[in-house]
Amino acid sequence: MIEIKNLKKVWEDGTPVLNDIHLTIEDGDIYALVGRSGAGKSTLLRCINGLTSYQEGSLRVDGKEIRDYSERELREFRRHVGMIFQHFSLLERETVYRNVALPMLCWKYSKKEIDEKVKSLLELVGLSDKMNARPRNLSGGQKQRVAIARALTMDPKFILCDEATSALDPKTTNSILELLMEINKKLGITIIIVTHQMEVVRKACNKACILEDGKISDEGTVKDIFIRQPESLQRLLGEDRKKLPASGHNIQIAHMMNTMQDGEMLGKMAMALGCIFPIIEGNIQDYQGSQMGVFTINVDEEHYEAAIRYLNENEFKWIEVKGEQ
């Protein structure tokens, strides 16, 4: 488990980069650190693996404060933290086999141990036939698979991904995310993903926090964040919420749409209430293999209590959103 409390990081010139960070990442999570460029995501990731120091607060991994580690303890800790980067960081002159073997070579494992490990990992990432290839002969997705295999060589408890899919096309991104999800499920490795791509968050992550200007502006389960549609998420997506009516009640409804009947929920609600209500805004989003509809309707005072009762009885997730004054 990773527990972060009151974390503060300031650059040498006095510029604050992280401020009052509170975060808990449970074992087995796929956790997203989400935000625009410069929000502090990568700095927070570097604090977690001890590459960047922090001035105030606490950052504990499995109960041990990171800044209390000696140099030797920190080296041993990093040994079991895998890193995956945006630009792969492979040795171009070495084979795929040697790139994956590199951490074990540095730690002076036996040739037999290295051979068994590398071959099993290349099979896991689907590159057994590329063992003797050079990085220049691989696609971007294949290079990232090599990087993932390399990150797994030391049997890490954590894998830290810094914009690992941002240089890849959507199809390749999807395949890399599926591989990371498989690794998380099979090996129980906690994965922390720094990203600005919301499709990455929706596809792979169970929890997330949104960073803005070095502070966490929202956090929770991914499903909860997309249901609530907080202002920080709207800003990140570059979408401005439409001007909502000041009269009546603006109710935002989130609903998983797994069947044709689910798509008819607003029509059924109107029939049950015996009224017609305007749909102010709405969209349908992919969420881990399912579709989630998020709609905002405006209900007049006369039908408000009945609408809330209907939503609660049918177990819909909803919140009331204030309109413009």
Nearest alpha-carbon partner for 280 in 322, 302, 252: 252
**CA distance linking residue 101 with residue 94, whole number of Å:** 10
pLDDT of residue 66: 93
How far does the chain reach from its first CA to its final CA, in angstroms? 45
Instruction: Please report which confidence band the pLDDT of residue 317 belongs to, taking 50, 70 and 90 as the band edges.
Output: confident
**What is the reported pLDDT for 298?**
93
Q: Are 36 and 236 in contact (CB under 8 A)?
A: yes
- pLDDT for 233: 87
pLDDT, tens only, 156-207:
999 999 999 988 899 999 999 999 999 999 999 999 999 988 889 999 999 9
- In the block, which residue shows the tokens 């951490």? 103
Strand partners, 56: 8
Mean pLDDT of the chain: 90
The mean per-residue pLDDT over the stretch 42-70 comes to 93
Domains of the chain (ranges; CATH) run: 2-234 (3.40.50.300), 241-321 (3.30.70.260)
CB 300 within 8 A of CB 283: no
CA distance 75 to 325: 57
Q: pLDDT per residue over 211-241, tens digit each?
A: 999 999 999 999 888 877 788 987 887 655 5
Give the integer Cα–Cα distance in Å for 168 and 176: 9
Chain centroid to Cα 27, Å, comes to 15
CA dist list (Å): 226 to 210, 231, 291, 293: 12, 11, 12, 10
Give the pLDDT score at 56.
94
Residue 32 and residue 216 in contact, taking contact as beta carbons nearer than 8 Å: no
Pairing of β 190-195 and β 30-34: parallel
Q: Which residue, 36, 90, 51, is CA-closest to 213? A: 36
